[in-house]
Structure 1
Amino acid sequence: MTEFWDSITSAQPDPSLRLVIGTGVVALVLIGFRPLWRMTRHVVTIAHEGAHGLIAALVGRKLSGIRLHSDTSGVTVSRGHPTGPGMIAVLLAGYPGPALFGLAAAFVLSRGYAVAMLWGLLVALLILLLQIRNLYGLWSVVVFGALVFGISWWGSPSVQSAFAYLLTWFLLLAAPRAVLELQHSRRYGQGRSSDADQLRRLTGVPALMWVGVFGLVTLGCLALGVVWSGVLPG
């Protein structure tokens, strides 16, 4: 247990630039190749709905449960006032959520704590698991958590570092694509119950403006994450 705790609290050696860039390229493949994206997008949904749930709890709403579906959609249900700043904050959290989680991971990695980042993710997944209310969502979180646990427990330091960077790049790069998909679905008459459209009904601000906010936040997180990764000088 002492060795285990030391592995979490001790900084690991800085990874090579080749590893950092290589994991970013792999993340791009996972996002850009459509057959892979259909599977890996579930990770984005987990982060998206997790962000809704986290903010709902922080603003004092009662979280009723989270559902994750096989088509990579999801829904987070919370009880409280249907309008007002709290509800707006919950709706705002979803699309920027994966990028903000990725940025937080990039910050932790920039300090050398790859193992701590993975175990922190495991704790977050365990908390999320308690709120899942359907079988497919349960299966999705358990499978993803098992993967993270396996690498955290049995992986070598180099494997742990590579996986942590891969996951970080994936969240940072996938978040802008999810925003593009949102606008694409809206353009063709779908997604009218999306976060952006619900924000329009609550605030009167056009949904396209909210999509733009989502896009700016996710791209800003990506830019800062690139700097923190050491690929570009900060």
Structure 2
Amino acid sequence: MDLESGRNKDELLEMLWRLHEFYELTMTAFRQHDPTGIYGGYLRDFASDGIVRLEGERIVLTPAGMEQARGLVRRHRLAERLIVDVLGMRPEETEKPACEFEHLLAPELVEAICTLLGHPRFCPHGVAIPEGPCCLEAKKQVETTVIPLTQLAKGQEARIVFLNTRDPARLQKLLHIGLVPGTSVTIQQHYPALVVEVGHSQIALEKAIGEEIRVVPQHLRP
């Protein structure tokens, strides 16, 4: 498969997901969203490959097709979130770079980005981001063990789970100083400033920033 065909098939999968999500998965709706007819041949390929079933007027995504489309849409919407939250671009500027990003993201990188961004539920346009394995694991942790960094006792160690901020400048600052998911931190003091130890470095933080850093305390780790 050449690069252009691969990209077109990905675009078609995303279209089918959006039709499933917001409209109806029918040939009429498909034609309305494909006025140039560019995707008709790819749709027939999808039927041959077991990605969809064509049942008269109805288009049915098979379980394999749903899984592929869901993963692709998840990558795209997380890429949009990354571009807005980390790079500081406006939501209306995200479509083209997000399309490029989604083809470059390996599964493990997708999970890492989702964790870094705090498992966002919605893309910058307010549309739901399909959950991944990391989101389900985070839900279990949040229910039992995840707390703001500021709730740790002096001398207590914890592991950063996610950063609960939507401020691009603040997120970039945290990334720059090494406060990223998976990092171990120890509280050195709470007053007059919050000071944490990361490796061999001590870092002073504003309380508001500490509230946005969510951690699993060491004594609560499984």
State TM-score, norm by structure 1: 0.27
Structure number with higher relative contact order (C-alpha < 8 Å, ≥ 6 residues apart): 1
Which is strand-richer, 1 or 2? 2
Max radius of gyration: which structure?
A: 2
Higher helix share: 1
TM-score for both structures, normalised by structure 2 = 0.28
